[in-house]
Chains A and B, each alone.
Chain A
Amino acid sequence: MTSKTVASSVYDWVDERLGLSELAAFARHKTVPVHSQSFWYYWGGISLFLFIVQCFTGVLLLVYYQPGADAYESVRQITFVMNFGWLIRSAHAWAASLMIFSILVHMFSVYFMKAYRKPRELGWLSGMALLGVASVFGFSGYLLPMDELSYFATKVGLQIPSAIPGIGEAIANMLRGGPDVSDFTVHRFFALHVVVLPAIFVPLLGFHLWLVQRYGNAAPPSEEAKPASERKTMPFLPNFLRKDLAMWLIALNILALLASVFPWSLGKPFDPLAPAPVGIHPEWYFMSPFEMLKLLGVVLQGEAGEIAGILLFTLGIVLWILIPFYDRGKEFGQRARAAHYFGLLAVFALLATTIIGYWTIR
């Protein structure tokens, strides 16, 4: 029996039980629109790739990391003693930042291409949920080394949930495991980071990807306006997939470049009694909400102002999440234009508050 016939009989055996040919037939018919904005289609895939990198590097870190009192020492060993431990840790941390970045790019490209419209509303909602979980991943992972910077940044970051009127302090206390960030917090964040969040993220991601397979890539309104004969497409298999893989390779290189040239270092061990070092600030992806709340606090003074600020901030996010139910029409009408301007406003606010945040670091 030649190796070819062996392979085909193995394939037949699996196919009979799992129905691979149906999947292959489905995949063969899947196409991706080709137009001047096609570049933005790769960002979802890049986010997925970076998530896979984090699963892989995360498991390797898990082998040596110890939550609790030894957290700092174990990270110190990973960074300064284990062979290539620094590389795995740097890749994990940089991939986290890059993943949030590519999810944000993906989100805004979906927004401006109006890809959230019927029937893709659930794709949008699940994507927003994934972004939410990803940012909690980032927040919980940041504390784990328990160095000075992560300790104080977490302390500052927990001001966001504790600002919620009424229940805020209770939520913050539950996350901290007490009134202060301590070893208990590390245990909680660790459980969150490696068990709870993956258990939420992975099925949600599966659902999101299933929706993408079901409805395919949305073309922007300018493409939809063209007659069908003028629209170009390319087969998903193999053309788009090959390009996707090339993008993954490029993303891997950028990750390698950042991890090698700017390896993630480790600060001093945390000391709750020491004063916060100069320039403590949240990670870049939390800078904008942090700064927005701070600015709203300046504009709206007093306790009532604080509540009003939180409500305004929450309203903005709710409006953003519910956009598919507001902007539904196929035509580029008044609502579509309003949504477009809302999107531009969001990009501007995000960039402006981030820049102000970094500008005004103490």
Chain B
Amino acid sequence: MNYPFWDIPILGSGWVIGIIAIFHVMISQFAVGGGLYLPLAERKAMRMPAGPLRDAWLTQLAVYSKFFLILTAVFGTVSGVGIWFAIGLTHPEATSTLIHNFVFGWAMEWVFFIVELTTIAVYYSTWGKIDPKLHLKVGWVYAGASAFTLIIINGILTFMLTPGDTWLAVAGTGQEASKFWYAFFNPTYWPSLFMRTCVCCALAGIWALITASRIDGDKQPELKTSLVKWSVKWLVPSFVATPFILIWYLWMVPASQRALLTLGIGTIGSGTFSVVTRIALLIIITSATIVGVAYFLAYRNPRDFNLSHAIAILLLALIATGAGEYSREMLRKPYVIGGWMFSNGVRVPYVARINQEGYLAHSNWVWNGPILNERLVTPGMTTLNDPTFSYSRGEAIFRGECGSCHTLNGYRPLGKLLAGRDQANIRSFITMLHDYKPDSPYRRFMPPMVGTKQDIDDLANFLNTQVNPLAPAAQKPMQTAQK
């Protein structure tokens, strides 16, 4: 517990990352897919016989590239930085591990970002001003640079699910960076790259439908029909290939993680454990629907295709993207970095040490010293058995060990999940999480509770005060995070 904790009530800090990330993925994957769409569409237009349709296509592509520039270069960039802020605050330990391993990965990515941002600005501003062949080349440079941003970030994202045995063998030795390429080209790298590429193409088509839907079908029927139909075709690779790639991807995920997916087939459980199954179902149904809706509304009725139809498809894509990213995150449980770091930031090999020394032993964020307020001191009292300090320590442990996944009264609320239990019962539940026996059902998706017996008591005391506010042991917080 080396870092202070970012406490987001109700929503939980994980969802702050989630909301920014889903928004970012919708745009950044469009930036990659659109990078391919623009030069291919321009090439297609340039090969058309000279005439009004060819001119209309090029004019429309110039309009599209403005939309593309603003959306990707402004919102994509801002939300990307937003993810950095959010993960740094929510998972400081995990972010630290990523930076220590992949600092050169990100350096490479940023080089491509700069090329990407520069070329898209040049591409947009030079329509009709430079030789068309050169303009097309600028488009291809953009496509290449944006593809490389995906190629790099994909290595880092997949590393978190499956770091691979080679990297795990050196993890914690200080030699991690020497296995950079093993960590980068980890077991799920290739299926994930293919899957994301398919999604990028689909998103390029979907976003292109937004601008195409605004063409007046009565005034420019030929342009609208050809552009809408061509854009819908961008959904096809994703529709055909994704099921197979998904199977490949899941094949590469450790069996213990894969088992999480089947938890919800037979039961909704208490609603939380099986959520990954339920959300994963949405990916399948929504992805299939997008193609169906795009076929009926756009491909077969291109002239009547309007903005609200396009937005309906976009919203379906948002559901599919959200469901996909959520499932991928959930599949990592109980780890944030597979096999190495639990989802609450505790490194796997540190568990025994923390169990011996106590969770707060090295923490700067909770009071461990003598009782400063003399009025509180009663004969025989030490810092450890003072109920007010126990509460404060319990709160700090809650923030550190539970807070990255749970809130008290909002998302995955411990107040509700522990309702009906008294202090002894809460304590025995925490003890079960602490003992982490091989047959414990919670092992599948929850990290162990680490710490000493005193830590268990402190956490139980704090949680009991929250769950049973009228319980006699209830103590109000006095000194949290002071030094």
Residues of chain A whose beta carbon lies under 8 Å from any beta carbon of chain B: 39, 79-87, 90, 234, 238-239, 242-243, 245-246, 249-250, 252-253, 256-257, 260-261, 263, 265
CB of B297 within 8 A of CB of A39, answer no
Stretch among B284-292, B438-446, B471-479 lining the A interface? B284-292
Residues in chain A near residue B75, CB distance under 8 A: none
Residues of chain B whose beta carbon lies under 8 Å from any beta carbon of chain A: 264-269, 271, 275, 278-279, 281-282, 285-286, 289, 292-293, 296-297, 300-301, 304, 308-309, 312, 316, 319
Residues in chain A near residue B309, CB distance under 8 A: 246
CB of B301 within 8 A of CB of A239, answer yes
Residues in chain B near residue A85, CB distance under 8 A: 266
Interface on chain B toward A: helix, strand, loop, or mixed SS? Answer: helix
Residues in chain B near residue A242, CB distance under 8 A: 296-297, 300-301
Assess A256 versus B296: contact at CB under 8 Å? Given A83-B266, A250-B289: no
Residues in chain B near residue A87, CB distance under 8 A: 278, 281
Q: List 28 A-B contacts (CB under 8 A).
A: A79-B267, A80-B266, A80-B268, A83-B265, A84-B265, A85-B266, A86-B267, A86-B268, A87-B278, A87-B281, A90-B268, A239-B301, A242-B297, A242-B300, A243-B304, A245-B292, A246-B309, A250-B293, A252-B289, A256-B281, A256-B282, A256-B286, A260-B278, A261-B275, A261-B278, A263-B271, A263-B278, A265-B268
Chain B's closest residue to A81 (CB) is B266
CA distance A245 to B279 in the complex (A): 24
CB of B267 within 8 A of CB of A257, answer no
CA distance A361 to B174 in the complex (A): 59
CA distance A87 to B289 in the complex (A): 18
Residues in chain A near residue B301, CB distance under 8 A: 239, 242-243
CA distance A84 to B289 in the complex (A): 20
CB of A239 within 8 A of CB of B304, answer yes
Assess A253 versus B267: contact at CB under 8 Å? Given A261-B279, A263-B278: no
CB of A253 within 8 A of CB of B316, answer yes
Residues in chain B near residue A39, CB distance under 8 A: 308
CB of B319 within 8 A of CB of A249, answer no
5 nearest CB pairs, A to B: A260-B278, A246-B296, A86-B268, A242-B296, A263-B268
CA distance A90 to B271 in the complex (A): 12
CB of B266 within 8 A of CB of A246, answer no
Residues in chain A near residue B289, CB distance under 8 A: 249-250, 252-253
Assess A253 versus B278: contact at CB under 8 Å? Given A243-B301, A245-B296, A246-B292: no
CB of B266 within 8 A of CB of A243, answer no
- Which of A79, A261, A265 has the largest number of chain B CB atoms within 10 A? A261
Q: How many A-B residue pairs have CB under 8 A?
A: 74
CA distance A216 to B319 in the complex (A): 35
B70 to chain A, nearest CB (A): 28
Assess A253 versus B304: contact at CB under 8 Å? Given A83-B266, A246-B296, A260-B278: no
Residues in chain A near residue B308, CB distance under 8 A: 39
CB of B279 within 8 A of CB of A80, answer no
Assess A250 versus B312: contact at CB under 8 Å? Given A239-B301, A256-B281, A263-B278: yes
Assess A80 versus B267: contact at CB under 8 Å? Given A243-B297, A246-B296: yes
Residues in chain B near residue A83, CB distance under 8 A: 265-266
B462 to chain A, nearest CB (A): 26
Assess A253 versus B285: contact at CB under 8 Å? Given A79-B267, A260-B279: yes
CA distance A83 to B262 in the complex (A): 10
Additional A-B contact list (20), CB under 8 Å, known A81-B266, A246-B309: A84-B265, A86-B267, A238-B300, A242-B297, A242-B300, A246-B296, A246-B297, A249-B292, A249-B293, A250-B289, A253-B285, A253-B289, A256-B282, A257-B282, A257-B286, A257-B319, A261-B275, A261-B278, A261-B282, A265-B271
B254 to chain A, nearest CB (A): 24
Chain A's closest residue to B269 (CB) is A80
CA distance A239 to B286 in the complex (A): 23
Residues in chain B near residue A252, CB distance under 8 A: 285, 289
CA distance A331 to B275 in the complex (A): 55
CA distance A87 to B285 in the complex (A): 13
Residues in chain B near residue A249, CB distance under 8 A: 289, 292-293, 296
CA distance A321 to B267 in the complex (A): 44
A251 to chain B, nearest CB (A): 10
Residues in chain B near residue A261, CB distance under 8 A: 275, 278-279, 282
CA distance A82 to B304 in the complex (A): 45
Of the residues B265, B281, B292, B296, contact of A260 by C-beta under 8 Å: B281
A89 to chain B, nearest CB (A): 9
CB of B268 within 8 A of CB of A82, answer no
CB of B285 within 8 A of CB of A256, answer yes
A77 to chain B, nearest CB (A): 10
Of the residues B268, B282, B296, contact of A79 by C-beta under 8 Å: B268
CA distance A49 to B53 in the complex (A): 40
CA distance A234 to B297 in the complex (A): 14
